[in-house]
Each structure stands twice: as structure tokens, then as C-alpha cells.
């Protein structure tokens, strides 16, 4: 007797497809029998693990037989100091992705609406589908969020609005003026997740003051991660900042030991490693210019980006170019799954990695 497991699954699961991650280096090398390939596909920090984080992980190793601190006291204390918020405004997650899911588990029910932009982090569409909620996908404006249209799309059924700034996979950026005007238009019973996974790459004077906005907008949830500029993607740690009572509600649903002890220790150390962070941001700024110059010189279309990646629009099916780059040992990210089949997203790597990518592109495009 065979079982139709899909029929057993919750409503919404049938239409879901597994997340398509960037191709791992080991997989490509196994398939092609090559060695020195370059992965520029998942917006990771190309500098690798920072020395302070590494030392903290080594110090934490002897305690691995113990459960981690379920409340992440040390990391939250450090974050609270850095951000100027109370520790009860913070929640830690196994990556910010887990916290996005936690928001859905806690607040989003079948039949309710979630509003997000056409080209944004695919996890919002997946979680909306998985929870049987209705996605209200607002057409993009210049590849980015159309905040006027998003505000207009909010109805009585809307539970949540998700905004990513800078946006992934396009790198577009909303100014603080635009965002503040939007927040003022959102009814208080509608939650707003402001996903700032790439905020560290934005110049400080341009960054939106989201933490200050929390006092004014009790429906705002700010999401950040250690996976990008802080260089800890493999450890899985992110956090959200919001009203203490909202955090309290999320904590009722959160699994108790969701952040492992190595991640907690490394994130705390990474927060204190200003030199690593500024080097990462500076490297990104410098190398972004390299890609822009190449694209301009070749007359290639690209979306100006404030994040640690740049999206190239080939204005034709990008899949053959992606495949050809793989054969050159360069892994970038096709984003047809995001509705952008003519685009490739390239994560900014180290100087020699970007040079490899540019040479491979020049060869492949002829």
C-alpha cells in the first residue's frame, strides 16, 4: 500500500517547491572534475570567518555537551548595548529565516493576506503559501518596491507586509523618507517586517533609522542577520527587534534552544569585530565598482545595487550563460525562480574571484 503523503500534508504544501540554493562548490567540482571554482551565488562574506569569531568558537567547544543558553543572554546584552534597545525587544533565531517563519507561525492564518513586492526574498512567498495565506504580490517599480502601491494593497484581511531593504535579489534601495511615509500609512494592526539583511553595506548616513522608528510604530519588526556582512552564514544566526510585547508573543512559539552555542558565541564576538566589518564593507564597495565598470564598458544592463551582490540583466534567457559560466568554474545565481529569467545575480567576492567572474563573462558573452 502506498501512501499519498502530499494528500496528508497541510493545505498549501502541495503548491510548494523546495528552495533552490546556490550551487555548492563541491557539487560543481564533482560534476565537472575541476578544482579551483569560485562561488558567487549566495551573498556570503567572501573574507571567510573572522579571527575573533573563530577564537570564540574555539573557546565554546568544550561546552558543546551542554544545551545552549535558551535566552541568548550574552548576545542579547551585546546587541542591546549596540542598538540602544532593551533586551526584551530582541529575539534570536537560527538565521533570520527561522524568525520569518516564526512570525508566520505566530500571526499568519489561512485566508489572511500578506503583502510583498514582486521581486523580493522568495522566503516570503514560500511561507505565505505554506501557511495557507493569500499572497498579495505588488508589481515592482524599477525592479524595487512600489511603496505607494503596497500601501494601497492593504485591506482588512492584511496581517503582514514584508519589505526588504536593500532588496534581494535586485539590490534596489528605499530611502528613509520613502519608508517613513509608508510606515505612517500602515494601519496599526498590520505587522510590517523590515528585512535589513544587507543594511551594513549601506553608508551610515543613508541607512534608514529603523530602530528609532520602533518607538513610533509598535507594529514594526526589524530583521537582521549575521549571515552576510558578519560572515557567519554557516552557523545560522539572525535577530529581530520589535515592541517587547510582540517579542513576548513570539517567544511563546519559539523553540527553546533554537540558536546553538557556537553561533551565539561567534555572533557575540563578530559584533565586537569592527575591523572585520569595515573591511568587508570597504571590499564590497571597491569590488562593486569593478563590476559596474565592466558592465558599462560592455554595454550590459545591470540594476544598481546597495547590497553585496549585483544583478545583471542580459535581456535574453540567462540560463545558457549561467551554464556556460559553470563550465568556466564560476557559480553565479540564476533568478528565474524570482520571475527574472533574463537576470543573473552575482555576489561580490574577493578581488581575484571577481576578476575570474568578469573574465569568464567576457569569454562566454563573446
The residues that touch ligand PLP, with contacts defined as CB under 6 A, are 43, 95-97, 121, 164, 168, 195, 197, 225, 227-228, 233, 238
Nearest to 162 by CA among 171, 296, 153: 153
DSSP string covering 224-241: EESSSTTS-GGG--EEEE
- Give the burial class of 356: count Cβ atoms within 10 A of its Cβ; 0-12 exposed, 13-18 middle, 19 or more buried: buried
Nearer to ligand PLP among residue 116 and residue 294 (C-beta): 116
Q: Is the dihedral of CA 117, 120, 125, 128 positive or negative?
A: negative
Burial track 231-247 (b if 16+ CB lie within 10 A, e otherwise): bbbebbbbbbbbbeebb
Report yes or no: 223 and 102 within 8 Å, Cβ to Cβ: no
Nearer to ligand PLP among residue 227 and residue 354 (C-beta): 227
Minimum distance from CB of 184 to ligand PLP (Å)?
A: 24
Minimum distance from CB of 156 to ligand PLP (Å)?
A: 28
Nearer to ligand PLP among residue 170 and residue 261 (C-beta): 170
Distance CA 104, CA 135 (A): 13
Nearer to ligand PLP among residue 179 and residue 360 (C-beta): 179
Distance CA 72, CA 261 (A): 9
Distance CA 104, CA 252 (A): 13
Minimum distance from CB of 332 to ligand PLP (Å)?
A: 15
Nearer to ligand PLP among residue 241 and residue 358 (C-beta): 241
Which single residue brings its beta carbon nearest to ligand PLP?
A: 95
φ, ψ for residue 302, nearest 5 deg: -145, 160
Nearer to ligand PLP among residue 119 and residue 302 (C-beta): 119
Minimum distance from CB of 96 to ligand PLP (Å)?
A: 4
Minimum distance from CB of 195 to ligand PLP (Å)?
A: 5
Minimum distance from CB of 21 to ligand PLP (Å)?
A: 11
Amino acid at each position: 500500500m502506498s501512501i499519498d503523503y502530499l494528500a496528508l500534508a497541510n493545505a498549501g504544501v502541495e503548491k510548494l517547491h523546495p528552495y533552490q540554493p546556490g550551487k555548492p562548490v563541491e557539487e560543481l567540482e564533482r560534476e565537472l572534475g575541476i578544482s579551483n571554482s569560485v562561488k558567487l551565488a549566495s551573498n556570503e562574506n567572501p573574507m571567510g570567518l573572522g579571527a575573533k569569531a573563530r577564537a570564540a568558537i574555539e573557546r565554546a567547544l568544550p561546552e558543546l555537551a551542554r544545551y545552549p543558553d535558551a535566552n541568548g543572554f550574552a548576545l542579547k546584552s551585546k546587541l542591546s548595548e549596540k542598538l540602544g534597545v532593551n533586551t526584551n525587544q530582541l529575539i534570536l533565531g537560527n538565521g533570520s529565516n527561522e524568525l520569518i517563519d516564526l512570525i508566520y507561525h505566530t500571526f499568519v492564518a489561512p485566508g489572511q493576506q500578506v503583502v510583498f513586492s514582486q521581486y523580493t526574498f522568495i522566503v516570503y512567498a514560500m511561507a505565505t503559501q505554506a501557511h495557507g495565506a493569500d499572497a498579495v504580490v505588488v508589481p515592482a517599480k524599477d525592479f524595487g518596491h512600489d511603496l505607494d502601491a503596497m500601501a494601497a494593497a492593504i485591506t482588512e484581511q492584511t496581517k503582514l507586509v514584508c519589505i526588504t531593504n536593500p532588496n534581494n535579489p535586485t539590490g534596489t534601495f528605499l530611502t528613509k523618507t520613502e519608508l517613513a511615509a509608508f510606515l505612517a500609512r500602515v494601519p496599526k494592526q498590520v505587522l510590517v517586517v523590515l528585512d535589513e539583511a544587507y543594511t551594513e553595506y549601506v553608508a551610515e548616513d543613508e541607512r534608514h533609522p529603523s530602530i528609532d522608528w520602533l518607538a513610533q510604530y509598535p507594529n514594526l519588526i526589524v530583521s537582521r542577520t549575521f549571515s552576510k556582512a558578519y560572515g557567519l552564514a554557516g552557523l545560522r544566526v539572525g535577530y529581530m527587534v520589535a515592541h517587547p510585547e510582540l517579542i513576548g508573543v513570539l517567544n511563546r512559539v519559539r523553540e527553546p534552544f533554537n540558536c546553538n552555542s557556537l553561533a551565539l558565541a561567534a555572533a557575540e564576538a563578530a559584533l565586537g569585530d569592527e575591523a572585520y566589518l569595515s573591511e568587508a564593507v570597504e571590499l564590497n564597495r571597491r569590488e562593486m565598482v569593478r563590476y559596474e565598470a565592466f558592465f558599462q564598458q560592455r554595454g550590459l544592463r545591470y540594476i544598481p545595487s546597495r547590497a553585496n551582490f549585483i544583478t545583471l540583466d542580459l535581456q535574453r534567457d540567462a540560463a545558457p550563460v549561467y551554464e556556460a559560466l559553470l563550465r568556466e568554474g564560476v557559480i553565479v545565481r540564476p533568478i528565474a525562480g524570482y520571475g527574472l529569467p533574463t537576470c543573473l545575480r552575482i555576489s561580490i567576492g574577493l578581488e581575484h574571484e571577481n576578476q575570474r567572474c568578469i573574465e569568464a563573462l567576457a569569454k562566454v558573452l563573446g
